[in-house]
């Protein structure tokens, strides 16, 4: 035993002598070259029967099978008096059964084989996702396409789901962050389909017939893109899917049109009273669309301003220097087909609400007035270049990203050209887009918090909050009725 | 500037190649232990040229005591605040300022926290003034978030750290040609942590606690947990009590660092496009130079038997709910597996998804959902979960009553007890047991597909009973029989072993009541 150990010790010494020498500081480290080319969507695009499209990747590393269908349908497409239909559909698409199967039968089978089948809807996309072990692929596919093509939205599950959603409505004003994000959007987009909220009445009005009508209108092959990865043979999988969808008819896509005119809310402070010990804050205005040619410069600019976590200015100032908050920064939110929002955000104890806001406004102004530093540019650009391959870590997520490009009409060479576009961003363009897209003078400052202590301020910034702009009060609505609460 | 490294010339290189089978799936884990006790785990997976690099320390809130609760998490924050090399332009000059800052704050804490009535206000103001000035003057030496920025600049993703009851982890995923950067930075902060900007970071952590406090129901849940775990250090949450966050001082922090941040109390795990020989050589070079620390005693106080039923009632601005908790076996005890299967049978399926290693959920095919949500329509949701932690275990039911039908939490409590009594007599069906087993197996295989998930699961398991327990746990689950289920139901589901917590929305428990 002892002898063996000695030999091992000697071996160890040899290992190290031919290995690494310790760098004195991290800047001394030299890295070998690494070239990475992203996967090309063309290599995975597959056309199925009846114009159904897909992005499919074989991955034999584990005996798994993943498939999902992305449908061009979401809450936005629902008429105002049926607001909430997409949420109801989320909860009844599977549980409500199909023409030939009860929902419980489908769930029981999927559960028994250790799989999962789920359906969710968002603003403009709905997604049905299946995961099973690859040995169960055939059974999984049959259930998946049955749910996708033939949902029945049976009454019993519909009623249960409506009761659940109405019960959930009662909690709509419990969480300060959900109040803030909902009311911030409502202020920026005004009374628009993007900001419609369901009520007890709209939920109750939704019938099985409404759900079926929405299904008929949007769930057809040409309006869906499949995404699959796992342990299968691609051509075999294509054969199976073609057979399952062979009788599925197409329709003409009829998506309602929406105004892209939004009100310009009066700049100033918008206060929402809630008895908590911090202020939850968003400040900003309308942002940009994702297909804006300035998108890449805006990404880099916002990384420096408040998007790059600890390396960003807002975090360094508000959190690290001043210890005012745990969570803070700035973001551009994007939504398909509409300009998104721009906001600075922070949550801080009531007495430092005004101070934290003033620091964020200072940073909005600074990035407009002064060029960013070489170091900041270097970090931001290198982050985007060097982290790029991370987007392709999961085959299923990669396929899904490709489907998303096609669905939302982005260029299919988006990923191929991504790094080149990031490289073209300069200090000058960063300052240019900061001036073009950040407007502190037009910003609304929304605060959810306890008014008196917030208004009073503290040592470093004394109130009143009115110093930041004209004061407005927003009364919350009763989420069940949509009527204003006193 | 003195570096704390002692060059270790003699060390053992022991490479273990381990292939473990589960459900005909192989996990190919390569292991290596440095002479100083640091364990290295490696798994090759090459979808993209990146490597998940995690380091886990066997320290968490259970290693705290009254007075320093929250320090494990606060310390995790402070590990980003520099070392003798990182985060500073001139170490010596800054250290002089830093020492005076610590001295002033020690004075303030003594005056404020030791003396009745908060001490001499004038003295405090004077010290505070000097402190504020020094904080301004130290800025010239501080390089803000140096480590974080360096990781970002080199394409670091998944950059984060986290603290739990038992484990603290530091995470980054890097391009495969840059793993050496992680070795450099993590070995540097393991050996040379130097805590700058401590007092403003305490404020950040207090803000983090306030964020939790503003989550409806937080205070009640915190009290429920404190009542359930009466004696063991699971009594307090990872975030700690606010009083302790205020009063923890620099000396506490340094002592905590010295005790727990040693190589023999850690595991480094690498998953991705890597060459194990290469990783081992780098680890020897960078981590190998850190001296081994003293052995660390595990926690002493386990949870004593409860002897009597506990009940709690609360009211506040959150939804009405029922919680029923039972003390259960901890990780590695034989009864943990049947309880996991039972949690899965009672609460499995549907929207519950694949959440962690605990059994259970609240989905559509679980017994309780079928009974209380679908058939009787008494509940909006109901879930069962079984969680075996390192030194304690809990089996928990949660349910939300149907407000529109005027159902009360107590009604649901009766229903759940009736089902429990039935299971004590009859157990569950063979199909239900088989379904639970299939789910555990499928979930296990799926968990292998995520590189970061693999690192997390294996890294944590390694620190307790070894990473292979991930496999043996699955084997244990597969062996569970209906007799086991009946036995564990009778053993653990008894009133004297339980805490029932009933929370009602303020003024809104009855139909028609105002919110």
CB-CB neighbors (< 8 A) of A231 in chain B: none
pLDDT score of B362 more than 60:
no
Pairwise pLDDT comparison (B3 vs B79), residue with the higher score: B79
- Asked if A118 has any chain B CB less than 8 Å from its own CB, the reply is yes
- The least confident of A50-54, B145-149, B155-159, B344-348 is B344-348
- Asked if B157 has any chain A CB less than 8 Å from its own CB, the reply is yes
In this prediction, residues B249-267 reach a mean pLDDT of 98
pLDDT at A19: 53
pLDDT at A31: 95
**Minimum-distance CB partner of A393 among B47, B176, B445:** B47
Cβ–Cβ < 8 Å for B31, B280: no
Question: Are the Cβ atoms of A310 and B148 closer than 8 angstroms?
Answer: yes
**Minimum-distance CB partner of B214 among A173, A176, A390:** A176
CB-CB neighbors (< 8 A) of B441 in chain A: 114
Tokens of B108: 């303030």
Neighbours of A479 (CB within 10 A): 22
pLDDT tens per residue across span A261-272: 999 999 999 999
Q: Tokens 């959190």, residue?
A: A319
Question: Are the Cβ atoms of B400 and A22 closer than 8 angstroms?
Answer: no
- DSSP secondary structure of A230-268: ESS-HHHHHHHHHHHTTTPPP----PPP-------PPSE
- C-alpha A303/C-alpha B438 separation (Å) is 45
Cβ–Cβ < 8 Å for B61, B299: no
Could you give the 3-state DSSP secondary structure of residue A213?
A: helix
Beta bridge partners of A239: none
pLDDT tens per residue across span A278-319: 999 999 999 999 999 999 999 999 999 999 989 999 999 999
Tokens of A91: 């909860």
**Minimum-distance CB partner of B12 among A8, A276, A326:** A8
pLDDT score of A3 more than 60:
no
- C-alpha A77/C-alpha A215 separation (Å) is 12
User: Distance (Å) from the C-alpha of residue A48 to the closest C-alpha of chain B?
Assistant: 27
- C-alpha A229/C-alpha B20 separation (Å) is 25
- Asked if B445 has any chain A CB less than 8 Å from its own CB, the reply is yes
Cβ–Cβ < 8 Å for B87, B146: yes
**Minimum-distance CB partner of A15 among B213, B284, B434:** B284
| Confidence grade of residue B412 (pLDDT, cut at 50, 70, 90) | very high
Tokens of B358: 């605990």
Strands B321-328 and B498-505: antiparallel
- Torsion A305-A308-A314-A317 (CA) sign: negative
pLDDT score of A13 more than 50:
no
Mutation for testing the B interface, residue in A12, A204, A325 having most B CBs under 10 Å: A12
- Asked if A483 has any chain B CB less than 8 Å from its own CB, the reply is no
In this prediction, residues B34-49 reach a mean pLDDT of 96
Which A residues, 136 through 175, put their C-beta within 8 Å of a C-beta on chain B?
Answer: 156, 160, 163-164, 166-167, 170-171, 173-175
Neighbours of A63 (CB within 10 A): 18
Q: What share of chain B is helix, strand, coil (3-state, %, to 5)?
A: 50, 20, 30
Which A residues, 45 through 104, put their C-beta within 8 Å of a C-beta on chain B?
Answer: 59, 61-64, 95, 103-104
pLDDT score of A401 more than 50:
yes
In this prediction, residues B441-462 reach a mean pLDDT of 94
Question: Are the Cβ atoms of A34 and B377 closer than 8 angstroms?
Answer: no
- Asked if A10 has any chain B CB less than 8 Å from its own CB, the reply is no
Side-chain-facing half-sphere of B403: CA atoms under 13 Å: 25
pLDDT at B347: 87
If phi > 0 it is left, if psi is from -120 to 50 it is alpha, else beta; for residue B425 that is: alpha
pLDDT tens per residue across span A222-256: 999 999 999 999 999 999 999 999 999 999 999 99
pLDDT at B350: 35
In this prediction, residues B415-443 reach a mean pLDDT of 96
Size of interface A-B (CB pairs under 8 A): 254
Could you give the 3-state DSSP secondary structure of residue B501?
A: strand
Round the average pLDDT of chain B to a whole number and report it: 91
- The least confident of A1-10, A14-23, A321-330 is A1-10
Q: Tokens 């899917």, residue?
A: A241
Which A residues, 190 through 249, put their C-beta within 8 Å of a C-beta on chain B?
Answer: none
In this prediction, residues B147-166 reach a mean pLDDT of 96
pTM for the whole thing?
Answer: 0.92
In this prediction, residues A444-459 reach a mean pLDDT of 97
**Minimum-distance CB partner of A322 among B12, B200, B211:** B200
Which B residues, 94 through 133, put their C-beta within 8 Å of a C-beta on chain A?
Answer: none
pLDDT at A485: 86
| Confidence grade of residue B27 (pLDDT, cut at 50, 70, 90) | confident
- Asked if A251 has any chain B CB less than 8 Å from its own CB, the reply is no
**Minimum-distance CB partner of B149 among A22, A62, A379:** A379
User: Distance (Å) from the C-alpha of residue A157 to the closest C-alpha of chain B?
Assistant: 8
User: Distance (Å) from the C-alpha of residue A86 to the closest C-alpha of chain B?
Assistant: 17
Beta bridge partners of A269: A445, A471
pLDDT at A27: 87
Cβ–Cβ < 8 Å for A87, A198: yes
- Torsion A384-B450-B261-A318 (CA) sign: positive
- Asked if A389 has any chain B CB less than 8 Å from its own CB, the reply is yes
| Confidence grade of residue B354 (pLDDT, cut at 50, 70, 90) | very low
Cβ–Cβ < 8 Å for A431, A368: yes
Nearest CA in chain A to B84: A25
Question: Are the Cβ atoms of A15 and B280 closer than 8 angstroms?
Answer: yes
Round the average pLDDT of chain A to a whole number and report it: 94
Nearest CA in chain A to B379: A164
**Minimum-distance CB partner of A116 among B149, B205, B353:** B353
Strands B25-33 and B14-22: antiparallel
CB-CB neighbors (< 8 A) of B206 in chain A: 349
pLDDT at B363: 59
CB-CB neighbors (< 8 A) of A309 in chain B: 148, 152, 159
pLDDT at A21: 73
Could you give the 3-state DSSP secondary structure of residue B400?
A: strand
- Asked if B350 has any chain A CB less than 8 Å from its own CB, the reply is yes
Strands B498-505 and B310-316: parallel
- Asked if B3 has any chain A CB less than 8 Å from its own CB, the reply is no
- Asked if B279 has any chain A CB less than 8 Å from its own CB, the reply is no
* Torsion angle in degrees (nearest 10) through CA of B323, B326, B332, B334: -130
| Confidence grade of residue B26 (pLDDT, cut at 50, 70, 90) | confident
| Confidence grade of residue B428 (pLDDT, cut at 50, 70, 90) | very high
């Amino acid at each position: 035993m002892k002898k063996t150990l000695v030999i091992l010790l000697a071996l160890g010494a040899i290992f190290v002598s031919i290995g690494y020498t310790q760098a004195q500081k991290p800047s001394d480290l030299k890295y070998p070259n690494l070239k990475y080319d992203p996967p090309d969507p063309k290599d995975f695009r597959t056309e199925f029967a009846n114009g159904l499209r897909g992005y499919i990747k074989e991955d034999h590393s584990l005996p798994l099978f993943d498939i999902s269908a992305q449908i061009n349908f979401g809450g936005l497409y629902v008429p105002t008096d049926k607001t909430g239909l997409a949420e109801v559909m989320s909860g009844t698409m599977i549980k409500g059964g199909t023409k030939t199967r009860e929902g419980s039968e489908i769930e029981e089978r999927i559960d028994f084989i250790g799989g999962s089948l789920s359906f969710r809807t968002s603003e403009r996309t709905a997604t049905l996702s299946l995961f099973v072990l690859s040995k169960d692929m055939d059974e999984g596919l049959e259930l998946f396409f049955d749910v996708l093509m033939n949902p029945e939205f049976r009454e019993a599950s519909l009623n249960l789901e409506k009761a659940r959603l109405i019960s959930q409505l009662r909690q709509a004003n419990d969480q300060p962050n959900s109040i803030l994000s909902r009311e911030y959007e409502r202020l920026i987009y005004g009374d628009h389909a993007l900001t419609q909220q369901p009520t007890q009445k709209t939920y109750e009005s939704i019938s099985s017939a409404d759900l079926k009508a929405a299904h008929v209108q949007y769930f057809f092959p040409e309006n869906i893109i499949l995404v699959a990865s796992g342990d299968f043979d691609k051509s075999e999988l294509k054969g199976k899917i073609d057979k399952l969808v062979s009788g599925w008819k197409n329709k003409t896509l009829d998506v309602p049109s929406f105004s892209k005119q939004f009100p310009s809310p009066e700049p100033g402070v918008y206060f929402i009273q809630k008895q908590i010990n911090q202020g939850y804050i968003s400040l900003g205005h309308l942002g940009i669309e994702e297909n804006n040619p300035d998108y890449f410069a805006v990404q880099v600019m916002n990384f420096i301003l408040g998007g790059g976590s600890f390396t960003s200015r807002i975090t360094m100032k508000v959190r690290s220097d001043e210890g005012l908050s745990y969570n803070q920064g700035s973001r551009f939110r994007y939504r398909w087909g509409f300009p998104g929002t721009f906001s600075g955000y922070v949550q801080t104890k009531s007495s430092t609400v005004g101070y934290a806001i003033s620091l964020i406004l200072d940073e909005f102004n600074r990035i407009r007035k002064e060029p960013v530093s070489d170091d900041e540019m270097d970090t931001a650009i290198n982050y985007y270049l060097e982290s790029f391959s991370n987007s392709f870590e999961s085959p299923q997520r990669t396929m899904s990203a490709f489907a998303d490009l096609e669905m939302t009409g982005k260029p299919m060479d988006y990923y191929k050209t991504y790094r080149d576009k990031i490289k073209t961003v300069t200090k000058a363009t960063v300052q240019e887009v900061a001036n073009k897209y950040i407007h502190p003078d037009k910003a609304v400052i929304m605060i959810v918090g306890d008014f008196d202590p917030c208004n009073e301020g503290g040592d470093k910034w004394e109130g009143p909050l009115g110093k930041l702009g004209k004061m407005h009060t927003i009364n919350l609505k009763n989420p069940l009725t949509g009527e204003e609460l006193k | 500037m003195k570096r704390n490294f002692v060059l270790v010339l003699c060390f053992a290189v022991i490479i273990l190649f381990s292939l473990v089978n589960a459900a005909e799936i192989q996990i190919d884990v390569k292991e290596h232990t440095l002479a100083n006790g640091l364990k290295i785990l490696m798994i090759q997976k090459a979808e993209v040229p990146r490597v998940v690099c995690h380091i886990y320390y066997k320290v968490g809130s259970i290693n705290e005591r009254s007075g320093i609760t929250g320090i494990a998490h606060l310390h995790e924050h402070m590990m980003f605040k520099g070392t003798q090399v990182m985060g500073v332009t001139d170490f010596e000059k800054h250290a002089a300022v830093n020492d005076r800052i610590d001295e002033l704050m020690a004075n303030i804490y003594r005056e404020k926290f030791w003396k009745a009535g908060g001490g001499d206000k004038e003295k405090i103001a004077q010290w505070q003034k000097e402190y504020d000035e020094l904080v301004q003057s130290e800025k010239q030496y501080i390089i803000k978030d140096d480590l974080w920025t360096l990781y970002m600049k080199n394409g670091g993703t998944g950059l984060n750290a986290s603290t739990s009851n038992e484990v603290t982890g530091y995470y980054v995923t890097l391009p495969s040609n840059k793993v050496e950067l992680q070795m450099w930075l993590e070995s540097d902060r393991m050996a040379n942590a130097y805590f700058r900007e401590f007092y403003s970071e305490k404020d950040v952590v207090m803000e983090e606690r306030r964020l939790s406090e503003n989550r409806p129901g937080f205070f009640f849940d915190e009290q429920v947990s404190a009542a359930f775990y009466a004696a063991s250090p699971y009594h307090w949450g990872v975030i700690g009590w606010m009083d302790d966050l205020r009063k923890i001082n620099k000396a506490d922090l340094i002592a905590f660092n010295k005790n727990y941040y040693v190589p023999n109390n850690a595991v480094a795990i690498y998953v991705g496009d890597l060459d194990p020989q290469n990783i081992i050589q780098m680890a020897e070079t960078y981590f190998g130079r850190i001296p081994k620390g003293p052995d660390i005693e595990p926690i002493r106080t386990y949870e004593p038997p409860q002897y009597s039923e506990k009940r709690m009632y609360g009211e506040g601005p959150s939804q009405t709910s029922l919680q029923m908790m039972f003390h259960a076996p901890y990780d590695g005890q034989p009864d943990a597996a049947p309880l996991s299967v039972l949690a899965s049978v009672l609460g499995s399926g549907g929207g519950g998804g694949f959440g962690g290693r605990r059994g259970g959920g609240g989905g559509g095919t679980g017994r309780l959902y079928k009974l209380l949500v679908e058939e009787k329509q008494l509940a909006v949701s109901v879930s069962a979960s079984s969680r075996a932690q390192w030194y304690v275990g809990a089996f928990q039911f949660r349910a939300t009553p149907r407000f529109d039908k005027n159902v009360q939490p107590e009604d649901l409590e009766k229903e759940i007890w009736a089902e429990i009594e039935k299971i004590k007599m009859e157990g569950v069906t063979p199909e239900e047991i088989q379904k639970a087993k299939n789910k555990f197996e499928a979930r296990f295989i799926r968990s292998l597909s995520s590189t970061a998930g693999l690192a997390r699961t294996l890294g944590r398991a390694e620190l307790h009973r070894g990473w292979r327990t991930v496999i043996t746990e699955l084997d244990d689950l597969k062996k569970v029989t209906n007799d086991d289920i009946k036995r564990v139901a009778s053993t653990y589901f008894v009133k004297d072993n339980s805490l029932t917590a009933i929370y009602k929305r303020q003024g809104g428990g009855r139909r028609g009541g105002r919110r």
